[in-house]
Amino acid sequence: MGKESWKEISFREKMQIVNGTVLVVSAIILYFLAFIITLSIGFEIISAGATLLGTGLAFFGITSFVKNQMLQFEAKVDSKIKRLEDIEQERKYE
């Protein structure tokens, strides 16, 4: 896309440009609104919300870690049991 005029650009590209512009402008507006609200509400309420959010995310992360470790442990146990069953089957056929 070089130096094409707005009329030469396809509809899909126009929509992508418009959507991108709207998202950037919305982010800027939300940033300033959040800043104004922070000044008017006070730091304590915002910090309490951030603490709750951080605690929730930490709990979610720990839960995910423990679940992942349990799945890995279960997979190891299953593979060892399968290997023992294979060895037992080989001994039966000998």
pLDDT tens readout for residues 39-93: 777 777 777 777 777 777 777 778 877 887 888 899 899 999 999 988 888 887 7
pLDDT of residue 78: 92
77, 54: one domain: yes
pLDDT of residue 77: 93
pLDDT above 70 (res 94):
no
pLDDT value at residue 1? 45
Per-residue DSSP letter, 3: S
Are both 16 and 33 inside the same structural domain? yes
> Average of pLDDT values for 18-47?
76
> Domain containing 61: what range?
50-94
Same domain? For 61 and 33 the reply is no
Together in a domain, 92 and 55: yes
Same domain, 94 and 56: yes
Q: Is the separation of the CB atoms in 1 and 13 below 8 Å?
A: yes
Domain total in the chain: 2
Alpha carbon distance 63, 69 (integer Å): 10
- Within 8 A by CB and 6+ apart from 14, the residues are 6
